[in-house]
Structure 1
Amino acid sequence: MRILIPFLCAVAIALPTKARELDVVVGWNKPPYVISQEHSGFEIELVRAILAEMGHTLSPIYVPFGRTARLLKDSTVDIGLTQSAAHNVDDSVLSDPYIIYQNVVVTKTQNNFVISEVSNLKGKRVIGFQTAQSVLGEEFKQALALEPMYMEMARQDRQVDMLMLDHVDAIVLDRNIFNYFKSQNSAYDKEETEFHELFPISIYRAAIPNPKLRAEFNATLHRFVADGRYQLLLDEYQLDNLLHKLPKAPAKL
Structure 2
Amino acid sequence: MIRLLLLLVWPLTLLADQTITLGSGISMPPYVIADKDRGIVVDVFRAALAEENIQVVLRYGDNDKVLQAFMDKSVDAVFVGKAEQFPAAYFSALPLIVFHNQAITLRADNYTIDTVEALQPYRLGAFRLATKLMPEPYPEVAAAITDYREYTLQVEQVQDLFRRERQVLVMDRTIFRYFLSQLRRQNPASELYRQEQQYHDIFARSQYYAVFHSEMLRDSFDRGFQKIRDNGRYERILTVYQALLSDYLFR
TM-score (norm 1): 0.69
Q: Could you tell me the percent identity over the aligned residues?
A: 23
* Structure 2 gap segments, 5+ residues each: 1-15, 247-251
Give 1:1-253 correspondences, 5 Å limit. Answer: 20-32=17-29, 33-62=31-60, 64-71=66-73, 80-83=77-80, 85-90=83-88, 93-137=91-135, 139-186=137-184, 187=187, 190-207=194-211, 209-210=215-216, 213-223=220-230, 228-235=235-242, 238=245
Whole-Å Cα distance in 1 between the matches of residues 220 and 136 of structure 2?
39
- 1:228 offset after TM fit, Å? 3.0
Whole-Å Cα distance in 1 between the matches of residues 21 and 222 of structure 2?
17
Aligned partners of 2:117 and 2:141 also within 8 Å:
yes
Whole-Å Cα distance in 2 between the matches of residues 158 and 166 of structure 1?
12
- 1:106 offset after TM fit, Å? 0.6
- List per-residue Cα deviations over 1:11-33 (Å, max 9, x = no partner): xxxxxxxx954313222413313
Instruction: Give the number of the structure with larger relative contact order, counting CA–CA contacts within 8 Å between residues 6 or more apart.
Output: 2
- 1:86 offset after TM fit, Å? 2.5
Whole-Å Cα distance in 2 between the matches of residues 92 and 176 of structure 1?
28
Report the number of matched residues: 216
Whole-Å Cα distance in 1 between the matches of residues 142 and 87 of structure 2?
32
Aligned partners of 2:23 and 2:69 also within 8 Å:
no
Alignment RMSD: 3.2
CA spacing shift, 1:127–1:24, aligned 2, 3 Å: same
Aligned partners of 2:100 and 2:206 also within 8 Å:
yes
**SS of aligned partner of 1:180:** helix
Q: Which amino acid aligns with 2:239?
A: L
- 1:70 offset after TM fit, Å? 4.7
**SS of aligned partner of 1:64:** helix
* Structure 1 gap segments, 5+ residues each: 1-18, 240-253
- Match in the other structure for 2:8: none
- Match in the other structure for 1:12: none
Whole-Å Cα distance in 1 between the matches of residues 219 and 134 of structure 2?
36
CA spacing shift, 1:199–1:161, aligned 2, 3 Å: same
**SS of aligned partner of 2:84:** helix
Q: Which amino acid aligns with 2:209?
A: R
Aligned partners of 1:95 and 1:218 also within 8 Å:
no
- 1:58 offset after TM fit, Å? 2.3
Between 124-133 and 176-185, report the one with greater CA deviation: 124-133
**SS of aligned partner of 2:174:** helix
Q: Which amino acid aligns with 2:225?
A: N
- 1:184 offset after TM fit, Å? 0.8
TM-score (norm 2): 0.69
CA spacing shift, 1:144–1:91, aligned 2, 3 Å: closer
